Structure 1
Amino acid sequence: MADVRSVVIVSLSTGSPTPARTHRSEDVMRADHYDNFARSYSIENESGFYNAYYERPAMLTLAGDVQGRRVLDAGCGSGPLSEALRAKGAIVTGFDSSPAMVELARTRLGEDADLQVADISLPLPFADGAFDDVVVSLVLHYLQDWGAALSELRRVLKPGGRLLLSVNHPRILESRDPNADYFSVTQHSGEYTFGDEHVVLTFWHRPLHAMTDAFTEAGFRIAVISEPPFSSDTPPELLPPDLGDRKSFICFIFFVLEAH
């Protein structure tokens, strides 16, 4: 499900994402699920507060100087992060499991862009050690099992390469549901609105220790754990009214991992 990214509506009084309705679900999102609302999702992702002024700037800050580095955007969606990395001098390859998202990315990046349809939960069509960095923006929280995906991402990284990723913060489930078991790996779903599209997105909560265990088991060393503030250039009109003077809130958590 390499197309997956979430735009989270945050209740800043509790610091938790609050979709219109939250429920437990046994359904698993199809790899091409985003095809049904790709364009409306892309529009929201382009300029919405949580993606354009929080998650994406944080990922770019963690990436730092990428001039001349070979970067894989795993779950590239419609390509805004790929575009930003390329503007910083990176040599970018992207993939997504949604053909509609890949077409939007190709429109954005040009016909010569290195883009393809692939699924992060399956073997990837790239050589061992092909990349200096891999970025995985709001993808892994859609997977129950991180082991296979992390192993593949480790395989395509050169020794010493970096995996930069963001996922839903592990405190989110508990703040939505006080009776939830923080220490379990738990599936939960919510209804979201992108433009005129109303969709159900399904996530897998995992506690922080389960995340870090999965990273080390796949052959990574944890270099950075980040809970960053939103971008300082956020237009004031986009800020949630109950944020007050705070610059940080519970929404996503970010990691920089180094491949052994």
Structure 2
Amino acid sequence: MKADHYDEFAASYDAENSGSLLNAWYERPAMIRLAGDVRGRKILDAGCGSGPLSAELRDRGAEMSGFDGSPAMIEIARRRLGDDVPLTVADLAQPLPYADDAFDDVVSSLVLHYLEDWEPPLAELHRVLKPGGRLILSVNHPLARPFLFPDEGYFGTRQFTDEFEFAGQPGTLTFWHRPLHAMSDAFAAAGFSITSMAEPAPSPDTPPELLPPRIASGERTAFVSFLFFVLEAR
């Protein structure tokens, strides 16, 4: 799936993203916790979408830049972030318009699982990071799809498509499933070391009515949805 596919439902996706359990109360808080103290750090938001993570990190003192493959998403991000965050339309599968060693950190929320080949994107993200810089990312949890569809198996790298509704508007997204060892192999080949891997619970501030019943009741603390990594550029 090309990133500009999001142009068809960019506004609806942004509206859904701003308040949904998975985005606003699960994925984004987890990314912010993993980033930690970002004051004064130069951070690239790779696949920034409509800019909510960039806004949060900027408000915590980071010097943000961002890109996305969807012009419609970038337009929404520009309205959200104003002129102090440089934004551009760019394709993560192609060479990026940034200098070598330009950033202290790269954040990439729910982006890599759209791509079949991780080698060129990871190489580019490594190139733009300073030595010792961090790549903080989230992807679909590799156990989620096999749990829901056991006939599909776990160990292959394969494409699948899901139907969604974003603030009442339907949308179709295409992803690539890959097992955990394929992810870790790709990170190592690109020159990254895994310093942290997380399967977090939703934010403690999540409105109770948004939580699955077994988590709202306290019977469980988390669910399988996304997997989070902090990588260090060697």
Q: Same fold (TM over 0.5)?
A: yes
Residue of 174, 182, 186 corresponding to 1:214: 186
Q: Read off the aligned partner of 2:224 and give its amino acid letter.
A: I
The answer as to 2:86 corresponding to 1:114 is: yes
Question: What residue in structure 1 maps to residue 224 of structure 2?
Answer: 250
Mapping for residues 125-144 of structure 1, pairs under 5 Å: 125-144=97-116
Of the three residues 169, 173, 191, the one matched with 1:197 is: 169
Alignment RMSD, CA only?
Answer: 0.9
Could you tell me which runs of 5 or more consecutive residues in structure 1 were left unpaired when the two chains were aligned. 1-28
Partner of residue 91 from structure 1, selected from 60, 63, 79: 63
Distance (Å, rounded) in 1 between the aligned partners of 2:3 and 2:195: 30
TM-score normalised by the chain length of structure 2: 0.97
Q: Determine which of 190, 199, 206 is the counterpart of 1:234.
A: 206
Q: Which amino acid aligns with 2:123?
A: S
Q: Which residue of 1 aligns with 2:233?
A: 259
Tell me the matched-pair count.
232
Matched position secondary structure for 1:110: helix
- 2:3 & 2:28 partners in 1: Cα distance? 23
Where 1:32 maps in the other structure, the secondary structure is helix
Correspondence 1:47-196 to 2 at 5 A:
47-196=19-168
Counterpart amino acid of 1:248? Answer: A
Deviation at 1:31, TM superposition (A): 2.7
Identity %: 62
C-alpha distance in 2 between matches for 1:67 and 1:190: 38
Distance 1:113 1:219 in 2: 28
Q: Unaligned regions of 5+ residues in structure 2, if any?
A: none
SS at match of 2:3: coil
Q: Distance in 1 between matches of 2:74 and 2:44?
A: 14
Q: Deviations over 1:190-246 (max 9, x none)?
A: 110112311111110000000000000000011001101110011112112343422
Q: Is the 8 A contact 2:104 2:130 kept in 1?
A: yes
Equivalences for 1:36-47 in 2 at 5 Å? 36-47=8-19
Question: Does the 8 Å CA contact 2:3/2:68 hold for their aligned counterparts?
Answer: no
SS in 2 for 1:111: helix
Q: State how far apart, in whole Å, the 1-side matches of 2:144 and 2:86 are.
A: 35
CA distance in 1, matches of 2:207, 2:42: 32
| Contact 2:157 2:178 (C-alpha < 8 Å) held by counterparts | yes
Report the more deviating stretch, 194-203 or 141-150: 194-203
Cα-to-partner distance string for 1:81-115 (whole Å, 9 max, x where unaligned):
00000011000001000000001000001134211
Q: Distance in 1 between matches of 2:178 and 2:40?
A: 35
Task: Tell me the alpha carbon deviations over residues 161-196 of structure 1, each in whole angstroms, 9 at most, x when there is no partner.
Answer: 000000000001211211112110011111101123
Deviation at 1:45, TM superposition (A): 0.4
Going by fraction, where is helix more abundant, 1 or 2? 2
SS at the partner of 1:47?
A: coil
TM-score, length of structure 1 as denominator length:
0.87
Matched AA of 1:150: L
How far apart are the structure 2 equivalents of 1:30 and 1:256? Answer: 26
